A and B are shown apart, each in its own frame.
Chain A
Amino acid sequence: MFTTIYNTAIAATATSLLLIFTQCSSNLTGDLDIEYEGDRITVNGYLSPDSIRLTVGKTVNFYNRSYSPEELIASNAQVFLLNSTGEVLYELNSPDRVTFSIPNPHLIVGKNYFVKVTATGLTDIKSTPILIPEFVPLDSIAQTLSEPLGPNSNEVALYFSDVPGENYYFTSLGVTKNNLRRNAITGIIDDQINQKCYAIGAFPDECFQSSAATLRYGIQKNYQFNILYEQADSLILRFGAVSKELLELEKNRPSDNEFIEGINEPPLTYSNITNGYGVVFAQNWLEYKVPLK
């Protein structure tokens, strides 16, 4: 009796395992029918008191078809800058149908502006109001050699005064070797900022508790050039105030694991554009150059 039961169980399980493993292992169905909502205009870029730079295009369905980068160009695009009452201030120029700019627009700090884009065959899009922020200079930059951070490392502290009101700050750091720019291998070494602000390039106001604010970076001088590592000679940093749209864009940057199921929740693409996609923000920053020790 038990022999029969045992043999039956073994045979049944062996069969089931074979079936399970053959069924589970290679069942890619291939083409999954995914709906596409239709082409929309896209616009990205920034406004600042003395310059505007925007790129315009359109979305493309990429599922189950080959597409060329040319398809991302919006035909006959026109870009307008509007003031807070909706009045058109400028129509932007484009040398290549993609980038749009205007020299010295003299945008006013504390004022809201809108961007509107039209293109043939596509629904017009308009940004949300974008506030030009007040300029915040760096008070000073302190720089020291810091071996605990790793070989050939510098600690750089940026001191500035957090102005009253809701402000958003931005830093971007790089290094140069013989005037060639590269991304710096950097990291914020202030734990409080790390925990509260996730060490992204843009910082909300609550990252800085007092009017005397500090950002500390560890910077490696290793500079990759033609595969060889060399020592960078200078630090280039961009610092200033930005509008909240850049903060949202940085917070919602897609990660590498974005579409791997089970690893994380897929984030929505941040956009401040109605009827389309993209991020237009305002900035008021300066670029600084500091020789590395």
Chain B
Amino acid sequence: MLVAQSPQVIISGFIKDTESGENLVGATLQLIGSEQQGTTTDNFGHYSIPLPKNQATRIRITYFGFNPLDTLILSDQDINMDFGLTGLQLRTVDIMANPAGTLKHNIVQIPVERLKAIPTLFGQPDLIKALAFVPGVSTGTEGTTGLYVRGGTPDQNLLLLDGATVYNASHLFGFQSVFDPSAIKDIKLYKGGFPARYGGRLSSIIDITMKEGNNQQHKGEVTLGLINSSLMLEGPLQKGRSSYMISGRAAYLGILLLPTWFSSRKNEDKPFNTMLSNDFNIKINHEFGNKDKIFGSFYWGDDQYVTRYKEEGSAISTDLKWGNRTASLRYIHSFGSRCFSNTLINYTAYHLKESYKKSNPQQLTDISFLRESNIREIALKQQFSINLKPKYLIIAGFELIQHEFNPDNIAFRSATFNLDSLATTSQKFTPLNTAVFVENEWSPYTWFTVNGGLRASFFNNQRSYRYIEPRINITARHRTTSFNIAYSRTAQFIHLLANNSLGLFSDLWVPATSKVAPQLSDQISGGIIFKSTKLNLEGSVEGYYKKMYHQIDYQQGIDFFSPGNFDWQQIVATNGKGRSRGIEWMLKKETARYNGWISYTLSWNERQFDEINKGVWYPFRYDRRHNLNITTNYNLSQKWKIGANFIYQTGARITLPSGVMQNNTDYANYDPFLQTNTFSQSFYVSGRNNQKLPAYHRMDLSLTKSFHSRKKHRPSQLSFGVYNLYARRNPYSISVGSSLDPLTNTYKFGGSSRALFVFIPSIAYNTHW
């Protein structure tokens, strides 16, 4: 297999959409005649590829939804070359599967247009939820956006929006993610084998890039959905040089519930509810010649849920608000064809505020509870990509992140319990997180690549933590098959203290402190990706083993709303361990009329804490042994398209009573005053997450009609969908209770579950101009 290598030169540049001028992320460049040589563009649409010197080389450039471009390149020196691709009007040719040289292990990069086609709840495309259909990724509670990647938890996913961290990606109690599909250009998920340039999370990186905006002409997009609608506008600020993109999305549940507000103003006994959510995305960019570009992007999103009602003479009100803000300023510069610089300054803020009030003047009841949690951070990131030699790429840089955590400010007031005011303000933490990294990508042969890297990270908060995080990724290719093995150590300096039952209300982001150490993980993964150009098939098998250290969880039996439990550091179990392992299979087919994939994951996922479950390993709540996903799209004609999903997951784990036994407190009669010397019984619980819920499965369908409005160049789509077609009652919440058995006149205990979304039809309309 050893082949004498001729002298080579570096060709680099950008791949663009000729119509909009936007750079294309993830476009593929392949040397024709060599299935092993190729590359893909990065997050900025930039590529770099070594070619033989003084030798005419034919290259094919492809991207989903665009006509392939073949070009011949002959050069005796390194050069910059930009290419433009034109969009397909009619898909009459089959899409070529990725060449082996561009097959990526541990990374999922699916074009946004394809993710948008996956049928989802309420017919609203959701890029985060769509990622749950890839192997190694599972979901938590029905309908929510939290992703569990290779046994990790949602806080272990680094969500980056144009490089800025997004802490809470949930809208509407998690039923929708905050990322407006009409404003998103690309989404990339790393499950393992993390490059050294990424850090700060254990389980995955979800790198999301906003649209830059069309720099050729003004365009727009309107989407009308069942729960919200969005508007996106884009266009040139200076044709061919700079552009803008602005989008807004709002849920209109709150507008429709306005009459309840008016009626409650007139009559205090009338209940009032409202739920608001909105997102705004803005991005502008400018090109200073071929070598310099600057991007500015901004995101603003909020949720608010308010209820006011009367119960047994008491006026009760709850108010829950949360939201994210991000702002990024990025400057990229090419130093010739061999060096590329990327400088990013960003700001992130996340806030959560919940309040509860209950008052009854007649009963002298007056209780109020207020809880606030805030995070802010400002970051500077610098990265250089240097092609030292055609076969040797170095990526190096540093990160400085100044955090500010205000995890838990609480005010509790109760006239009933003679507590005039019990206010606790948890300590404000302002840790500095720094990291330096270097990656070396070495391709001594066309069939063999090693990407080795080191990341050194430092965190100062009450105590200094320093970690060296080695990363290595080895890939070998043979014809149309690619083999890979990867190892990565990652450190995470923040924790999400999450209630094992519900999400959000008791979820707190907290930093590592002298008492709570940073999370660490070691992951080893390996696998094979193979493709058949003849059959337009691509398949993969990947395995992983991951160990996690310094995990935290609430202690057993903690009551989240007890006044004594307001200091988060006092109620957590620390130094927990986690281990997960699994095998992931995926088979993907892509033709002009049909695309879709089947994925299956077999996995195990466990946790161990000295203070929990008597120190014995126990299954993690989302220890889903089997996870099968099928998603398909078929073009019935040029106008009609049908899509379907099927998902099957082993049921989640939950702690429930195991059975009943003699009461272990009163019948022992050690307390002489209980006076209950009877044969009483009580529940007993044998272990944490001792019960497995029924399997989760459902099928979704969608039917889309594409048409042009009366005015030309205004393509529109009308989509109909059904979520959970066969009305499977997947458990959303569980309770244990008793009911009287009329036959025996005895009480019968049972577990019951409540399903949330059972056969939800939807309709959505989308138009562009």
Q: Which residues of A contact B (CB under 8 A)?
A: 5, 8-10, 12-17, 19-20, 23-24, 27-37, 42, 44-46, 53-55, 57-69, 72, 98, 172-174, 181-184, 195, 198, 201, 236, 238, 246, 249, 252-255, 257-269, 271, 277-279, 281, 283, 287
Contact = CB atoms under 8 A, between A and B. Distances in A.
B226 A16 contact: yes
B661 A182 contact: no
A29 B755 contact: yes
Given A55-B662, A255-B559, A262 B502 contact: yes
Given A63-B750, A181-B673, A264-B557, A16 B661 contact: no
Contacts of A182: 673, 675
A27 B729 contact: yes
Interface of B: 122, 222, 224-227, 229, 252-253, 256, 499-502, 505-506, 554-561, 564, 613-614, 655-665, 667-675, 679, 681-688, 691-694, 729, 731, 733-736, 741, 744, 746-763, 765
Given A12-B763, A246-B670, A32 B748 contact: no
A60 B122 contact: no
Contacts of A238: 671-672
B684 A59 contact: yes
Nearest to B736: A259
Contacts, number: 235
Contact of A255 (B557, B673, B736): B557
B754 A29 contact: yes
A69 B665 CA distance: 17
Given A10-B256, A19-B761, A269-B664, 18 more contacts: A23-B755, A23-B758, A30-B750, A53-B668, A55-B667, A57-B661, A57-B662, A63-B751, A65-B748, A66-B746, A181-B675, A260-B735, A262-B499, A262-B501, A263-B501, A268-B556, A268-B688, A278-B664
Contact of A279 (B224, B668, B679, B687): B668
B659 A36 contact: yes
B556 A257 contact: no
8 A-B pairs with the lowest CB-CB distances in the bound complex, closest first: A267-B557, A174-B673, A32-B751, A262-B502, A16-B226, A269-B684, A261-B501, A266-B655
19 contacts: A17-B256, A19-B761, A23-B759, A46-B670, A59-B658, A59-B661, A63-B751, A172-B671, A172-B673, A181-B675, A201-B671, A246-B670, A254-B682, A255-B557, A262-B502, A263-B501, A264-B558, A268-B556, A269-B686
A5 B750 contact: no
Given A32-B750, A69-B681, A60 B755 contact: no
Contacts of B757: 23
A14 B614 contact: no
B501 A257 contact: no
Contact of A268 (B256, B670, B686, B733): B686
Given A12-B225, A34-B656, A265 B556 contact: yes
Contacts of B500: 265
B389 to A, nearest CB: 56
B502 A34 contact: no
Nearest to B670: A46
B685 A9 contact: no
Interface centre among A20, A37, A64, A184 (most CB of B within 10 A): A20
Contacts of A58: 661
Given A30-B750, A63-B749, A254-B682, A266 B557 contact: yes
Given A37-B686, A55-B662, A253-B665, A32 B502 contact: no
A65 B743 CA distance: 12
A278 B670 CA distance: 14
Given A29-B731, A236-B673, A5 B754 contact: no
A263 B557 CA distance: 10
Contacts of A254: 682-683
A194 to B, nearest CB: 9
B731 A32 contact: yes
Contacts of B252: 9, 13
B417 to A, nearest CB: 12
Contacts of B731: 29, 32
A73 to B, nearest CB: 9
Nearest to B681: A72
A76 to B, nearest CB: 17
Contacts of A172: 670-673
A62 B758 contact: no
B658 A36 contact: yes
B754 A28 contact: yes
A174 B672 contact: yes
A263 B506 CA distance: 9
A282 B735 CA distance: 36
B240 to A, nearest CB: 31
B363 to A, nearest CB: 19
A262 B502 CA distance: 5
B686 A287 contact: no
Contact of B557 (A16, A27, A181, A252): A252
Given A35-B692, A181-B675, A265 B555 contact: yes
A218 to B, nearest CB: 14
A34 B691 CA distance: 7
Contacts of A54: 668
Given A9-B224, A27-B758, A249 B664 contact: yes
